Structure 1
Amino acid sequence: MSWDSRCFDNGVARTVYISRPRSTENRDSYFHHLTSSIVHLTLLFQSKTMYTTIAALVLTGALGVESLTIPSTAGFKFPRLTRSRGGQSQCVSGTVSVQASTASNVQIDYPLPVNQTQVTETSLDYITPGADFPAAILGDSQTVEGTYNLGATLCMPSGSNVKGVQLLTHGVGFDRYYWDFTSDYSYVDRAAQAGYATFFYDRLGVGQSEKPDAVDTVQTALEVEIARTLAESLRKGEFAKKSFDTVVGVGHSFGSIITEAITASTPSTFDAAILTGFSVDTAGIAPFISGLNLAIARENSPFRFPFLSTGYLISSNIISQQTGFFRAPGFSPDILRRAEATKQTVTVGELFTLAQAITPAPAYSNPVAVVNGDADLPFCFGDCALGNKAQAVRGALYPTLPETKFGTYLAPRAGHGLNFHYSAAGAFDWIMEFLSQQGL
């Protein structure tokens, strides 16, 4: 017999089975060991939730897992202890509160869409060559501030020799689990193997983070400040009672725009920046937006997003998902289906302000790498090798950076959603080697 415990992780049902030994002798020993562990862990985590206690039990030798270091839950609300998809990291997940303020959000003359027709027309305005959009609806700067609750995870590698932490910021269409998708597609696991901790979070308006106003609040400038604050908190040891001397910023797509913006505005924030799904060539943005065929999220996926305003949009279907993020034959159909089932939203405020965040960072002097799928649609128009678009980032954004501190890599047969392709593992390996060569 077995005990069946069902829970939900990122909207996906999980089942944990604890087999009961058949022999009386083994059964008595088993329950003695199990009971002792429960008592010990209950005392240790008595102020935490039931999920924390159960997760801690799963992570101990009582359930057959070799000695694992359980991270502190300090700094997390509603914490739960888990492992990364491939089991290389011990993690704490929950909600973190971030106080952030920016004077760089903009006033946008755009009422919330009343129906899908308006959303489609907005997309057409966005991609029409020569149209003064969205510039025509962007007004003066405005200050936005508050304390925002974000879904977040901190994963620690095995052993005590941790090189540093990588702050992972996902892009449009995904949540934090873009970085820890399945056991075979986990950047988190590869970073742990290389000795790095990882902190990955749901951006404001996404996943388990709160969902503020989709026009005035959830804009690029505020998200840049949130990411910068998270990096500062990691240095100070405000999460899991662990301070990090080395903080590497890693982004994907919109997350790379955010990461690059931080290197420009506060150059001391990151000891290195890894920009994936990124370039300064935006010619492919129009076909990317067209391919996503953006829809009102609560109408497209009413069971997942029933209470979001009409300013929260989402890709229409699995065809849209493949068009925007995948390139055949470099991916598994199962991964595409999972990406569609777990797809996430983008706000109109983000769409209208993301381009303005990309600015040169001449004062940034730490290592930078640009890593793309060779067939990235939005940032390479399907061909990253043409014009050496990744290499062009150095001259355009990091003109004073020595060549020895800059690197590029193109993953073969991969689209914009690089982490979801067969060649992702090679890209992960290259990133870890690049950081190692830079002394990080």
Structure 2
Amino acid sequence: MTALTFLALAGLAAADYTSQFGGAIPAGLCAPNTAGFTNPTIQPSRGGAAICVSGDVAVQASAQNVKFNFNIPANESEVTDTFLKYITSGSTFAQSIMGGMQTISGNYTIGATLCMPANGTIPSSVQLLTHGIGFDRYYWDFAPGYSYVDYAVEQGYATFSYDRLGVGKSATPDPIQVVQGPLEASIANQLALSLRNSAFANANFSTVIGVGHSFGSAITQSVTHNHPSTFDAAILTGFSGNQTAIAAFVTALNLQIASQNQPYRFSGLNNGYLVDYSAVSNQYGFFRSPNFDPAILAAGEAAKGTVTFGELFTQAAIAGVASNFTGPVAIVNGDADLPFCFGNCSYPMNLAQAAVTMLYPAASATGNYLAPLTGHGVNLHYTALDAYKYIGSFLKQNRY
């Protein structure tokens, strides 16, 4: 077996808790209560700082989605042509497919993981972790040394990570009309309210902190905008108010029909579900050399998550000025973030600082951190721990 093959297989295993990292929990440790989960399994986090319950949770959500006059492409040629139309200078493609708004409601199965300290204590604070495009919930607990879950739990928090709608173990409904930013923001809001109302593991969380990455940050930001009392604090990673590089990001990913790119993982999905084309595409979008381990890139590519046309068409439309959000907010980016900074988060100003100032005029405290020589996938670089430490320090300074 070649080293590359081994890494690819390791990455596939990393995409599923049930086949990796420990199996049964060590003797003497207390397993979390499985209330609120169906088909639950118990396992340690990647670095062993947490004991986690994973399974399915039910979410009822409703939102005003965009009605798109756009059909699922018949083949890869149509997919490619769609994105050429989408990114062409002066194109009216985006306007041409807009057909107004429509209410989308339903009960959705969401794959989720709740992690608690391995000593059996139940924290009073929980962080709701929302991943971005190209990954699933395991972005937050990717590998030993690259686990935000481990760090947060060691700091005294519980974490609740989940696969966004259309990704991983979550439901995969219509990828154009249903799996869009507005509905996903509604799902995130409902999950946060459920955490506050003791719906999972019979845990009574008095504080709920929203933490996002990329599209997950846009979703978290949307919750603070539309439901300012849901989160007590917010941390947005891989995010800014600058959308000028989204076309370059989408082009770099070179998106392909998921069932054709990864037939063993995604054979049941229709042509509206896409993935990045290759490890090179993944590096373009999320990594910055030489500040990453090639093994992490290989694992990230092997475990990559899907994205839908509906998400791509609405990713820039869900954020807004959160005038009534009064909790603390920080933005944490790699300084070389491509999609939200065009590769330089310090030009022509600190774009993280500019975004948090613009979007949160009433926040009790704001902060920003740019991880050096780091791309969009902050958690997957050698500098990840320093970014985690900034987040932990910011929350503690603000009594969270």
Scaled by the length of structure 1, the TM-score of the pair is 0.85
CA contact (8 A) 1:202 1:209 kept: yes
Q: Give the number of the structure with larger relative contact order, counting CA–CA contacts within 8 Å between residues 6 or more apart.
A: 2
Q: CA deviation at 1:159?
A: 5.2
Question: For 2:57 and 2:147, how far apart are their aligned partners in 1?
Answer: 22
Identical columns (%): 53
For 2:196 and 2:356, the matched residues in 1 are separated by 27
SS of match in other structure, 1:177: helix
Using the TM superposition, give the Cα deviation of residue 15 of structure 1 relative to its aligned residue in structure 2, in angstroms.
Answer: 6.9
For 1:113-128, list aligned pairs within 5 A: 113-128=73-88
2:264, 2:50 → 1: CA distance? 32
Residue 100 (1) aligns with residue 66 (2): no
Q: Which amino acid aligns with 1:135?
A: Q
Where do 1:345-360 residues align within 5 Å? 345-360=306-321
Report 1:60-79 matches (<5 A).
Answer: 60-61=26-27, 67-79=28-40
**1:315 & 1:147 partners in 2: Cα distance?**
29
- Kindly indicate whether residue 106 of structure 2 is the aligned counterpart of residue 146 of structure 1: yes
Match of 1:109 in 2: 69
Matched residue type, 1:208: K
Do the aligned partners of 1:205 and 1:218 also contact (CA within 8 Å) in 2?
Answer: yes
Q: Which amino acid aligns with 2:214?
A: S
Distance 1:75 1:128, change over 3 A: same
Distance in 2, matches of 1:128 and 1:272, equals 38
Paired residue secondary structure (1:247) = strand
Partner-residue secondary structure (3-state), 1:153: strand
In the superposition, relative to structure 1, how do residues 394 and 11 fare at CA in structure 2: closer, same or farther (>3 Å)?
A: closer
- State the SS of the aligned residue for 2:132: coil
The answer on whether the counterparts of 1:256 and 1:276 sit within 8 Å (CA) in structure 2 is: yes
User: 1:13 offset after TM fit, Å?
Assistant: 8.2
Quote the offset at 1:59 in angstroms: 2.3
Match status 1:59 vs 2:64 = no
Distance 1:15 1:365 in 2: 41
Alpha carbons of 1:242 and 1:161: their partners in 2 closer, same or farther (altered >3 Å)? closer
Specify the SS of the correspondent of 1:214.
coil
d(CA) in 2 for partners of 1:168, 1:219: 18
Please list the CA deviations of residues 377-424 of structure 1 after superposition, one character each: whole Å capped at 9, or x if unmatched: 00000001111100111332112335xx00000111110011000000
CA displacement 1:153-205 (0-9 Å, x = unmatched): 00012353624000000000000000000011000000011000000000000
Secondary structure of the corresponding residue to residue 230 of structure 1: helix
- Report deviation, 1:8: 6.3
CA RMSD of aligned residues (A): 1.7
**Corresponding residue of 2:358:** 396
SS in 1 for 2:264: coil
Q: Offset at 1:133?
A: 3.4
Q: Does the CA-based 8 Å contact 1:97-1:149 persist in structure 2?
A: yes
Task: State which drifts further: 155-164 or 294-303.
Answer: 155-164
Corresponding position: 1:367 with 2:328? yes
**Deviations 1:78-104 (Å, cap 9, x if unpaired)?**
0001110000001100111111112x1
TM value normalised by structure 2: 0.94
The one-letter amino acid of 1:394's match is: V
Aligned pairs for 1:170-181 (under 5 A) are 170-181=131-142
- In structure 1, the residue corresponding to 2:370 is in which secondary structure? strand
Q: 1:332 to 1:88 in 2, by over 3 A?
A: same
1:136 Cα shift? 2.5
- Quick one: which of 181, 190, 209 aligns to 1:229? 190
Q: Distance in 2 between matches of 1:420 and 1:60?
A: 27
Q: Tell whether the 8 Å contact from 2:31 to 2:120 is kept in structure 1 after alignment.
A: no
Deviations 1:13-47 (A, max 9, x none): 84789xxxxxxxxxxxxxxxxxxxxxxxxxxxxxx
State the match for 1:10 in structure 2.
15
Number of equivalences: 387
User: Which letter maps to 2:355?
Assistant: V
Higher Cα Rg, which structure:
1
Which secondary structure does the structure 2 equivalent of 1:261 belong to?
helix
Distance 1:108 1:316, change over 3 A: same
User: Is 1:136 matched with 2:96?
Assistant: yes
* Structure 1: gaps (5+ residues): 1-6, 18-54, 62-66
Structure 1 segment 174-253 matched on structure 2, within 5 A: 174-253=135-214
Q: Which residue of 2 aligns with 1:46?
A: none
**Mapped pair 1:279 → 2:261:** no
| Alignment match, 2:271 | 310
Q: Structure 1 residues 419, 16: closer, same or farther in 2, change over 3 A?
A: closer
